[in-house]
A and B are shown apart, each in its own frame.
Chain A
Amino acid sequence: MAITTMIGAKIHRREDPRLVSGEGRYIDDFTRPGTLFLSVVRSPHAHARIKSIDITAATKAPGVVAIYTHKDFAKVIAGTMPAAPAFVAEKKQIPPRFPIADKEVAYQGEPVAVVLTETKYQSTDAANLIEVDYEPLPAVMDLEHALDANAPKAHSNAPDNVGWDLTYIPEDANVMKEADVVVKQRILQQRLAPTPMEPRGVLAEYSRPDASMTIWMSSQNPHFIRLFLAGALGIPETRIRVISPDVGGGFGSKISPYSEDYLVPAAAKLSGRPVKWIETRTESIQTTTHGRGQYFDVEAGAKKDGTLVALKVTQYLDIGAYVGTFGAFQACACLLSTGAYNWKHVSARTVGILTNRVPTDPYRGAGRPEATHLCERMIDLLAEAIQMDPAAIRRKNFITEFPHTSHFGLVYDSGEYEKAMDKAMEIAGYEKLRREQEEARKKGRYLGIGISSWIEICGFGPSAGTAPATGGIALVESAQVRVFPTGSVTVYVGTHSHGQGHDTTFPQIVADTLGVPYDMIELRHGDTAEGPAFGYGTYGSRSLAVGGMAVHKASKKIVDKARKLAAHIFEAAEEDVEFDQGHFYVKGSPDKRKALGEIAFASFGAGLPEGMEHGLEAVAYYDPSNFVWPFGTHIAVVEVDAETGAVDLQRYIAVDDCGNVINPMIVDGQIHGGIAQGIAQALFEEVVYDDDTGQMKTGTLTDYMIPTMNEFPLFELDRTVTPSPTNELGVKGIGEAGTIASSAAVINAICDALSPFGIKHVDMPASPDRLWNQIKASRGASHNGKEARK
């Protein structure tokens, strides 16, 4: 019997000493002899025609080696940038996107020219000398009116601004009649800038003699980038190597290929010298894809006793100027909008709208935070309408039978939603909080308690479901395990760790499967020259449930082969050989055992069984049978200062269930960061554009408000464990859970606090001025009401 030792162990992340002591290696830490620095000249306009580009002055500037524009890149880059079908297979319009603008720019920050200089400083100076003559065009900034007949067009030659319009489940006008109460709400999801601590960056070196390209890039999925670049640059995949070393945060914004990912390698090829580009913070906020940027029109109906009847969802999504490679993925908000509950009827439609803003793409949670937010808001609105406790209405409608097939045909693998909610309520002291709330109200203080019972689809994903969504490449995962003659082990994976702790957790899995000491196991990732032919990257909380399973599967192949060799050495039948904690022995004689390392040594020697190849290594590709479905309940406690509109987030409780846990400390860390990011959306962050000029107003971290630890209470975490039946490890994803759950918990708490004012809904970010205005308006309204009644 195998005793689990490392799986479940709360051990420190082995990558941390290196990372926290400044020994991490990020893109700007790499350099090649003779490197040129590239600066991008970008459109200052949201929408304009390029009349001319004058490079005369810039060409004479110190250190300038080359200046390239569209006409130069058109010679070395073929085709347009990809847009995956994602959840919206039939799109109406995908504006062709070349990495650099030719005649028209469609968002502020779109590349127009690049400058290559000997030093970094020179490139910024020279870029300022390039004169581009623009003819400004009307810009589409107002999402609500972008589909009006007289709205300007995001691209001047486009028929309209419809990117897609897809009905997943059509509406049936009759079903709402079954409800006793119906609530309607428009719910905004403001644009967010992912702002990883390390901005994007690319270093590319082209080797003329062997016509090969090496690219160092801050990316979440180097293999995909290699695939895209091979096509665009006309270099076979075998001669492109993409290295994604330590990556200082991605949050989804480093999945898709960017303009610079093409332009920098192309510039290296054109100039014959290595070229480096490092994104500035303003470029990062302005041109790295944004998250969210949507609004939903939602209608929900329930019976008086709280039974949920019908949910009707329409998503309006700000695609931006071009369809992000995985931008349509965010339509999954519709598919998850029913949340943790049984609804009798559901209808859903997604409309993608082209605007003159930077494209949106997945951002931590990608569609699922939006789904949770709208569902949990509607549940609270219904609870309020029928005067039922928000916990009670949830309890009444939770899905309890698993596997559960949703209205959209998705199969929830396992869950115990009520158990997680009960635990969260117990930690929070729910009943006591309600009493405190009542007491406080009498004194004119406004406490609020917000519940968010979230679910998530993750672990992308089964080949049948994902290959059509990417345009052909299934999101399975690969791993290679190599056992060296001394018994040490290297594991190569196709996922990429940039904060998730794979360097620690994957060896934990291997340590148990192979019975090899944890310290003898090394994890390698992020270099396309190593490991299996293809890796699929890290996003969608997929690395453990898919990648970890590939690691497990490859490790088991090792054990299988080693068992054959052990049987040969023991001169026993294979069935009679036991494997326990890293040792093989013949049944009944455990004292005459051989460690896996000894078998490994033997596998490189003489006298192998007939037909057995030398060595002990294995490659595995794992194709999951389903997605995995983590869940949980979060509770936020706030006090709103009704005089100023300031929100004091006093407590935050989270009970999450991600199935079996490999390393509790890492799971807690993921939840911490996730919660912080969701709270950031609820209270602080928003990309703001001037709707008249199309200029971004939040281009620095002074204006784009990222909260710090000062702004958060201590998170009170706990978990339930409901193993996933989908995979042998029983695991689900946890990388996005915190973000998926937390915005709804905070906003529900604020709405709860402000209910004495008759305030039912609050949009994000719930900034003090926004709340003050709402409180003031409601005070005015009730005042008028009183006057009217007199």
Chain B
Amino acid sequence: MIPAAFEYAKASSVEEAVKLLGKYGEDAKVLAGGHSLIPLMRLRLAQPKALVDINGIKELDHIKEDGSKLRIGALTRHVTLQNSNVVKDKLPLLAEVAGEVGDNQVRNMGTIGGVVAHADAAGDYPTIALMLDAEIVTNRRTIAAKDFFTDIFTTPLEADEIVTEVVFPVANGPHKYIKFRRRLFDWAIVGAAAQKMNGGWRIGLTNVGSTPVRAKAVEEALQKGAKPEEAAQQASEGLNPSGDLRASPEYKKHLARVLTKRAIEQAG
């Protein structure tokens, strides 16, 4: 429960952070909310040589409405998203999802940039980002969500690349996220999201594979007029989830179908 020794530096701008990352090289890590990184370090599953703390970079903490887009700074905490009137108004699904991440401590510290950069298959925002075609903006480039979550804990981010924003489309039609878990503050065993958008449905799934999943087959079936129950049968198509202590692959696939059905039915 004691991390290995590391160096620590605090950046006050993105440029400074990038410079520090460059200085420490491959073995350095960005420190945002610390709620994924520090648990790994405590167990010595991660042993970065240096941490570059970005918590002092004010410009990364913002929520901006930009026409049909919602630009969310990487350092925006879960609690801010959960309570933001702009988010509640323009993308209520995201505010609701934020309210279901972890517990109060996690929501007070954890950031959206940290979640996407960490790319945990059980992370909730990646599902929303993927299904809504969000973009991940870094100090260098803009990456479409579908190209960003490439594998578990794996993204195209370079060692000295920093996520600065996540850009979502505005969508405030019927929506629902159902996060199936045993304890209120747990990660999703499986999560299913439904969002009505531009006359169609967007359906996303959490923790049913190494990356978030967009259930296109379900979306198409709904488009063709299938009832939620029928369409949801497609939710497990092509899934190959791994089993863990909480759920077997088969059970996860079953949950994907049931939760998808319920998310569509309960979307409001």
Contact = CB atoms under 8 A, between A and B. Distances in A.
A172 interface: no
A684 B186 CA distance: 12
A684 B182 contact: yes
Interface in A519-572: none
Contacts of A128: 44
A361 B233 CA distance: 48
A121 B246 CA distance: 34
Contacts of A700: 43
Contacts of A177: none
Interface stretch (A79-87, A723-731, A766-774): A766-774
Interface in A95-134: 120-121, 124-125, 128
Contacts of A702: 187
A121 B255 contact: no
A708 interface: yes
A644 interface: yes
A684 B258 CA distance: 22
B246 A769 contact: yes
Interface string B204-246: 0000000000000000000000000000000000000000011
Contact of B2 (A120, A644, A688, A708): A120
Given A282-B43, A769-B246, A772-B251, A705 B1 contact: no
A708 B182 contact: no
A74 B82 CA distance: 59
Interface residues of B, number: 22
Given A688-B245, A705-B182, A121 B1 contact: no
Given A643-B258, A769-B246, A772-B254, A281 B1 contact: yes
Given A688-B245, A698-B245, A700-B43, A121 B258 contact: no
Given A121-B5, A281-B1, A705-B182, A769 B248 contact: yes
A773 B5 contact: no
Nearest to B44: A128
A708 B1 contact: no
A778 B255 CA distance: 18
- Among B185, B248, B251, max chain A CB count under 10 A is at B251
A583 to B, nearest CB: 54
B106 to A, nearest CB: 12
B2 to A, nearest CB: 4
A710 B184 contact: yes
A767 B246 contact: yes
A710 B185 contact: yes
Interface string B184-201: 111101000000000000
B157 interface: no
A102 B155 CA distance: 47
Nearest to A770: B251
A646 B254 CA distance: 13
Contact of A644 (B44, B187, B246, B258): B258
Nearest to B248: A769
Interface string B161-183: 00000000000000000001011
Nearest to A641: B258
Contacts of A120: 2
B245 A773 contact: no
A71 interface: no
Interface string A685-727: 0001000000001101011010110110000000000000000
A767 B5 contact: no
Contacts of A124: 2
Nearest to A282: B1
Contacts of A644: 180, 255, 258
Contacts of B1: 280-282
Given A644-B255, A769-B247, A121 B183 contact: no
Interface in A655-704: 683-684, 688, 697-698, 700, 702-703
Contacts of B187: 702
A125 B258 contact: no
A705 B183 contact: yes
A391 B93 CA distance: 47
A520 to B, nearest CB: 42
A643 B183 CA distance: 18
A125 B4 contact: yes
Contacts of A281: 1
Contacts of B254: 772
Interface string A133-163: 0000000000000000000000000000000
A125 B182 contact: no
B1 to A, nearest CB: 4
A209 to B, nearest CB: 34
Contact of B184 (A688, A711, A767): A711
A783 B44 CA distance: 51
A769 B251 contact: yes
Interface in A276-334: 280-282
- Among A120, A125, A644, A683, max chain B CB count under 10 A is at A644
A711 B186 CA distance: 11
A124 B47 CA distance: 14
A684 B245 contact: no
A121 B189 CA distance: 35
Nearest to B254: A772
Contacts of B180: 644, 646, 768
B2 A767 contact: no
Contacts of A773: 251
A698 B43 CA distance: 13
Contacts of A711: 182-184
B5 A125 contact: yes
B188 to A, nearest CB: 13
Nearest to B1: A280
Contacts of A772: 251, 254
Nearest to A279: B1
B226 to A, nearest CB: 19
B251 to A, nearest CB: 5
A684 B5 CA distance: 35
B266 to A, nearest CB: 14
A281 B184 CA distance: 21
A698 B258 CA distance: 28
A708 to B, nearest CB: 7
Given A644-B255, A644-B258, A769-B247, A121 B185 contact: no
Contacts of A705: 182-183, 186
A281 B2 CA distance: 11
19 contacts: A121-B5, A643-B258, A644-B180, A644-B255, A684-B183, A688-B245, A698-B245, A700-B43, A703-B245, A710-B185, A711-B183, A767-B246, A768-B182, A768-B247, A769-B246, A769-B247, A769-B251, A772-B254, A773-B251
Given A700-B43, A705-B182, A711-B184, 6 more contacts: A121-B2, A121-B5, A280-B1, A684-B183, A710-B184, A768-B182
